[in-house]
Every structure is written in structure tokens, then in C-alpha cells.
Amino acid sequence: MKLRYSPTSPYVRKVVITALETGLDSRIERVRTNAWDPATDLTGDNPLGKVPALILDDGSCFYDSPVICELLDSLQDGAKLFPAAGPARFTALRRQALGDGILDAALQVVIETLRRPEPYRWNGWIDRQKAAIARALDQLEREAADLAENSLTIGEIAIIAALGYLDFRLAADRWREGRPALAAWFAVLEKRPSVAATLPKE
């Protein structure tokens, strides 16, 4: 298998943590890809022009991170990151959606502040995205006692990727303030080998 990736993409980080947790990482060749390069051939593997994209040995391509993560989980025989059915599955999927939603909003802020020329920045849009992030973090603070520290699901993995990305790109917003339970949970998970090994790098 081949993974089209960027070392700073939090969605890629979700996939790599999943690969490590499922024991599949050694079977995946990583192909570093700049999705912002106009000359990239990424669109041949993902018509949306985004990473991550996973190419199987038979040439079939899969995207985006929720699909890739569930595909990898289906290829391993250990404890499933995607519970099979019932309330546990839908809790994991809901938490994945919350983590991914934080990432979506954070990326909007990053694009608006770092990539858009200053005269064209929309501060109201930035404020809207940051408010969404804050609400999601407050929800996670309320759920922190129920988040797993050992047997992770895709929900925890998505939340880890989201919080790590906030540290990486929006550290000045200090997401830990007023959220001691979530901060304490993340402090434990940061030391997990699959998390420590996937810290984003420029």
C-alpha cells in the first residue's frame, strides 16, 4: 500500500496513528506530497486534490481519512478502532465527527490567516470558526471522563489529531484554559507511542 501524505496534515496523522495502532504501518509506503503544488499528480489518486490518499496494491484508491482509517481497521485482526455495532459504534463515529469538525474549522482559520493576503482576510469568518472550535472543546471537556486512555476508538484518535493540530497551528488560543479534564486526558495520550511518533513537523 502507498499513502500520499503531508507531514503537517492532521488528517494524515489520524491515518498514521491508525496504521500504528493496527500494526499495519510497516506495510505502507509513504509518498510525500505537496497538495498545494499546481504541478502535483495527486489528483490522479484523489480527484479532490487532498491528502491523505491510500493506494492499495491492486491500484484502487481511497480517501478521505474516515474511509482510510476504517479500511485499515478492517485489515487487522486485533481490537477494532471502529466498534462493530450499537451505541459504542455511534459514539465513536460521533466523536470522530467532532474531532474532524475541530480540524475543519482550524484549517479554515489557518488558511484565512496564513495563506490569504491580509487585505482579503475575513475576520468574521475566523471568529465563526474559532467559536465552533470552542464549543466543540467545551463538549469534549464534558465528555473527558468517558474518553478512553487504553483501548482507543477512532473517536479518540480524531480528537488526539485535533488537539495536536491546535497546539501546532493555533497554540496562542490556549485551548487547555478552562478545560482541565480534557487537558489531563490529552497529557496522558501524548505519551502513547503512536501519538508521540506522529507529531507534526514542518
Name the residue ranges covered by the structural domains of the chain.
Answer: 2-74, 86-196
From first CA to last CA, the distance across the chain in angstroms is 24
| Contact status, residue 1 vs residue 54, Cβ threshold 8 Å | yes
Mean pLDDT of 117-141: 95
| Contact status, residue 162 vs residue 106, Cβ threshold 8 Å | yes
**pTM of the shown model:** 0.96
d(CA 183, CA 181): 5
Angle of CA points 186, 190, 196, to nearest 5°: 160
Exposure on the CB side of residue 61, measured as CA atoms within 13 A: 15
Mean pLDDT of 14-35: 97
Predicted confidence band of residue 128 (pLDDT cuts 50, 70, 90): very high
Q: What integer best gives the mean pLDDT of the chain?
A: 96
The phi and psi torsions of 55 (rounded to 5 degrees) equal -110, 120
CATH topology of domain 2-74: Glutaredoxin (3.40.30)
Predicted confidence band of residue 116 (pLDDT cuts 50, 70, 90): confident
For residue 98, which amino acid is it? L
pLDDT of residue 152: 96
Question: Radius of gyration of the chain from Cα atoms?
Answer: 17
Mean pLDDT of 21-30: 97
Predicted confidence band of residue 192 (pLDDT cuts 50, 70, 90): very high
Tell me: pLDDT of 118 over 90: no
pLDDT of residue 191: 97
Tell me: pLDDT of 202 over 80: no
Mean pLDDT of 26-52: 95
For residue 73, which amino acid is it? D
**In sequence order, which residues have a C-beta less than 8 Å from that of residue 42 and are 6 or more positions away?**
4, 33, 35, 49, 50, 51, 53
Tell me: pLDDT of 162 over 90: yes
The architecture that CATH gives domain 86-196 is Up-down Bundle (1.20)
